[in-house]
Amino acid sequence: MNKVYITKSAKFLPNEAVSNDEMEAKLGKIDNKESKARRIVLRNNGIEQRYYAIDNSGNVTHNNSDLTFESIKGLCDEQFALSDMEVLSCGTSTPDHLLPSHAAMVHGLMKTKSVELNSASGVCCSGMSALKYGYMSVKSGNSANAVCTGSERVSSWMKADRFEAEVDNLKELEQTPIIAFKKDFLRWMLSDGAAALLLEDKPRDTTSLEILWMDAYSYAYELEACMYAGGDKLEDGSIKPWSDYNASEWLTESVFSLKQDVKVLNENILERGVDSMKRAMEKHKVKTSEIDYFLPHVSSHYFVDNLYTKFAEAGLEITKDKWFMNLKRVGNVGSASIYLMLEELMNSGKLKSGDRIMLSVPESGRFSYAYAYLKVV
């Protein structure tokens, strides 16, 4: 088996940073009324700015494939060109199309040569799944390099006009025309962006990270879905798919909107996160003292203190000075978040040879967790 190194990282965040006070003007007001949830959600998540692939008039400036391609171009230098790429592995929660696949659409922008493609779906762990595919390809000797990406273009899903038909329907039913918190909540949580990693079978003279191992865990066998789109949850916890709804209901029920069951989230996200982290560390015989940088993807700063406490109670205390996060500055970009954190750390000048880095990514889709353990060459 070959060794696998992350030799370069790059990111693309569209347009100018959007402050908390500018969000609703960008996304629009539903029923021309300010959201009652916005200030509460923003106070808890601790995000101060984020990026949207829409302009001040609400017009789309980049689709998901565009964002991804822009981040990939940042990997190119005198040592690597797009024509050198052997594998393209892309993860996202918000592809531009049901099909063709996201990776195929990104590859279509390159105009270079044939490559092997992989598209990883899911929620936040899709970025880690894309990384693992590239890691296994290079490790097995199937390829000498792989480009792996995480990206999201969620802003257009959150625009107010996406909910107008539902609001009109509620008025006709003589109900209060306010969309459910499970939908409004996510309007103030998620944002756009992309990042890319270049994996090679040899390190470079500049900062290179060896991927020592990757692992993933799912709790879908015992827990119902928490974050979902393209359907709606029924009373028994199952999800009725969009294809089983009448076409008219796709609009009146906002079937394609992103939704999150906050109660299910709060009851399970931390406990399963600690359980899976402990299992991964025991399996690979890693001690907390052997982690110099801990990069946890968290959707909100609301969870940070409790996560730290639960880790400590489980004998997995990682002191806060080792936590490296950029949620406040770039927002929650789903599958791209872990890439954006690692890109910032790799280019920060802080890393030194021998440093060990733990990546931790949860997703609340149906509670999956992914980990990677890296070492600076």
CA pair distance 364, 225, nearest whole angstrom: 8
Report whether 354 contacts 26 (CB < 8 A).
Answer: no
State whether 15 and 120 are in the same domain. Answer: yes
Structural domain includes residue 241: no
How high is the mean pLDDT of the chain? 95
Instruction: Give the H/E segment covering residue 24.
Output: helix 23-27
Q: Where are the alpha helices (DSSP H) in the chain?
A: 23-27, 38-45, 64-73, 102-107, 125-140, 155-158, 164-172, 181-187, 249-252, 262-283, 304-313, 327-330, 337-346
46-87 pLDDT, tens digit per residue, is: 999 999 999 999 899 999 999 999 999 999 999 999 999 999
Q: Are residues 59 and 185 in the same domain?
A: yes
In a domain, 146, yes or no: yes
Give me the residue label for tokens 């880095």: 357
CATH number of the domain enclosing 76: 3.40.47.10
Task: Going residue by residue through the chain, which has 377 residues, state the pLDDT in tens, using 9 for 90 and above.
Answer: 999 999 999 999 999 999 999 999 999 999 899 998 899 999 999 999 999 999 999 899 999 999 999 999 999 999 999 999 999 999 999 999 999 999 999 999 999 999 999 999 999 999 999 999 999 999 999 999 999 999 999 999 999 998 887 877 767 666 665 677 888 889 999 999 999 999 999 999 989 999 999 999 999 999 999 999 999 999 999 999 999 999 999 988 889 999 999 999 999 999 999 999 999 999 999 999 999 999 999 999 999 999 999 999 999 999 999 999 999 999 999 999 999 999 999 999 999 999 999 999 999 999 999 999 999 99
Model confidence pLDDT, tens digit, residues 310-347: 999 999 999 999 999 999 999 999 999 999 999 999 99
Q: Which amino acid is at 59?
A: N
Query: Are 32 and 149 in a shared domain?
Result: yes
Range of the domain at 269: 211-223+257-376
Token digits of residue 250: 């796709």
The secondary element (H helix, E strand) that includes residue 76 is none
177 and 219 belong to one structural domain? no
Cα dihedral 76, 78, 80, 82, rounded to 10, equals: 50
Please tell me the total number of residues recorded for the chain in this structure.
377
**pTM (predicted TM-score):** 0.95
